[in-house]
Amino acid sequence: MFNDLKTLRITGDGPELRVELNTPESGNAISEEILDDLLVVLEEVHNRPDIRVLVLSGAGPDFCRGGDRHEFAGQLTHDPSGSGLRTIGGKARRVCDALATTAAVTIARLHGQVIGAGLALALFCDLRIGASDSRFRLPELALGLPAAWGGSLPRLLHEAGAARIRELILTGNSFDAARAEQLSVLHRVAPETELDDAIKEWSKPVLRRSAAALRTTKALLNSYAAASRLGDTTLLDAEVLSAVVAAGQRP
């Protein structure tokens, strides 16, 4: 089913699917290829009501060190107008939307460094658990980028609160798992060796729930979250990101 995927490792059979970012040599940096592979998997999950739980994790020492900056630079060299970045930004938005709206309960299993786009991916999961020694950072501003990736900014503001997120974005300071739990970026913290046991505590009751009730409840939660925003400007994230990055390359 997933034999053609190059950047993900898929395991699990039956109602629980495990999706592992599998480019540890790059710190699982989010590339266009990873986004394409995630879209394939999430489309399959959308069409498979028997999949009730999706666990997202990362291979190697880090969950994800952010977006693939080498790919960004290559795209701008090829097309200084930023159209390639707009394409990548559009795919990022589609992946994040699919994570948030799939009928399966999505669980982010986080360890090591969780940076930028990697943190954004995790935020769109329903439940998030992090290793006690994991570290988090939103470095976009320090890299000359706007906080516009996949529609993550309103998700962050909704989950953690505007004042605290403003500080993290403007300073770019890293924070630990305990702070992430205080901010509701994480629901739980555990030693890395105990992450899988904690995930089982979440998934076991979910697998017993009525599929129709679970699907409807997720739809309601997403609807109520969206209703708290006057307008969804994240549709412009890809345009904003490409425009700022392209402008930064000009003399």
For residue 73, the one-letter residue type is A
pLDDT band at 243 (very low <50, low <70, confident <90, very high): low
Please name the residues in contact with 47: beta carbons below 8 A apart, sequence gap of 6 or more: none
Give the span between the Cα atoms of 195 and 126, in whole angstroms: 16
- For 220-241, write each residue's pLDDT tens digit: 887 777 655 544 555 445 545 5
Q: What is the pLDDT of residue 250?
A: 45
Summarize the confidence of residues 146-172 as an average pLDDT: 87
Q: What is the pLDDT of residue 242?
A: 55
- For 108-154, write each residue's pLDDT tens digit: 999 999 999 999 999 999 999 999 999 999 998 888 877 878 888 88
The shares of helix, strand and coil residues in the chain, as percent rounded to the nearest 5, are: 55, 15, 30
**Higher-confidence residue: 20 or 152?**
20
Give the span between the Cα atoms of 55 and 128, in whole angstroms: 10
Q: What is the pLDDT of residue 230?
A: 44
For residues 54 and 26, the answer to whether their CB atoms sit within 8 Å is no
Taking the CA atoms of 75, 108, 169 and 100 in sequence, report the sign of the dihedral they define.
positive
- For 56-110, write each residue's pLDDT tens digit: 999 999 999 998 877 766 666 666 666 667 888 899 999 999 999 898 999 999 9
Please name the residues in contact with 37: beta carbons below 8 A apart, sequence gap of 6 or more: 5, 6, 7, 8
Looking at 124-236, list the stretches that DSSP marks H as alpha helix, in order from N- to C-terminal side.
Answer: 152-160, 162-171, 177-182, 195-208, 211-227
**Of the candidate ranges 36-40, 195-199, 210-214, the one whose mean pLDDT is the lowest:** 210-214
* Structural domains in the chain plus CATH codes: 8-194+209-248 (3.90.226.10)
Q: What is the pTM of this model?
A: 0.86
Torsion of CA 47, 52, 58, 62, to 10 degrees: 140
SS3 36: helix
Q: Is the pLDDT of residue 202 over 60?
A: yes
Q: What is the overall mean pLDDT for the chain?
A: 86
Give the span between the Cα atoms of 134 and 145, in whole angstroms: 24
**Higher-confidence residue: 48 or 233?**
48
Q: What is the pLDDT of residue 211?
A: 83
Give the span between the Cα atoms of 96 and 149, in whole angstroms: 9
